[in-house]
Amino acid sequence: MKHPSFWSVNLDKMIVLRISDNDGVDLNGVKLHSTTEVAEALEKISAEHPDEAVSVEATDSKWYESIGKAIYGSHRAGFSGGRFRVLIDGKPLEA
∠ CA 84-32-90, rounded to 5°: 45
Whether residue 78 is predicted with pLDDT greater than 90 in this model: the reply is: yes
The predicted structure's pLDDT at residue 18:
98
Q: Where are the domains of the chain?
A: 14-92
Using CA atoms, how far apart are residues 70 and 20, in angstroms rounded to an integer?
12
- What number of CA atoms fall less than 13 Å from residue 49's CA on the CB side? 11
This prediction's pTM: 0.86
| Confidence bin at 1 (pLDDT 50/70/90) | very low
Contact criterion met (CB below 8 Å) for 66 and 19: yes
The pLDDT score that the predictor gives to residue 10 is 58
Question: Per-residue pLDDT tens for 40-75?
Answer: 999 999 999 999 999 999 999 999 999 999 999 999
Q: CA 57 to CA 88: how far, in whole Å?
A: 6
Is a pLDDT exceeding 70 seen at residue 17? Answer: yes
Give residue 25's pLDDT band: very low, low, confident or very high (50, 70, 90): very high
- The CATH number given to 14-92 is 3.30.420
